Amino acid sequence: MKRVALVAAVWFAFWIVVGSVVGGLTGGHGGGVQNGIYFGAFNGAWWALFTSFAWPWIMPERLDRWMHSSAD
């Protein structure tokens, strides 16, 4: 279970960072960058949630085996 939680945490962190970067770059001037980063992080969390349902199709087989192995 620890490995599944680790992979999920990395997945969510990845999408939050991507959303923040995109939001920061497209935020504009006059405080828009800060708001862009803030709202981009929330958008990234939504993307992480939506794409997590696609894990069985996009996850490499090796990572899937490592996640579900019983040896810790």
Tell me the pLDDT tens digit for each residue of 5-63: 888 888 899 999 999 888 888 877 766 677 788 888 889 899 998 888 887 787 778 87
Res 32: pLDDT: 67
d(CA 34, CA 39): 9
Q: Using N-to-C axis directions, what is the helix angle for 32-52 and 2-25, rounded to 10°? A: 140
Res 17: pLDDT: 93
User: Is 72's pLDDT higher than 70?
Assistant: no
d(CA 72, CA 57): 25
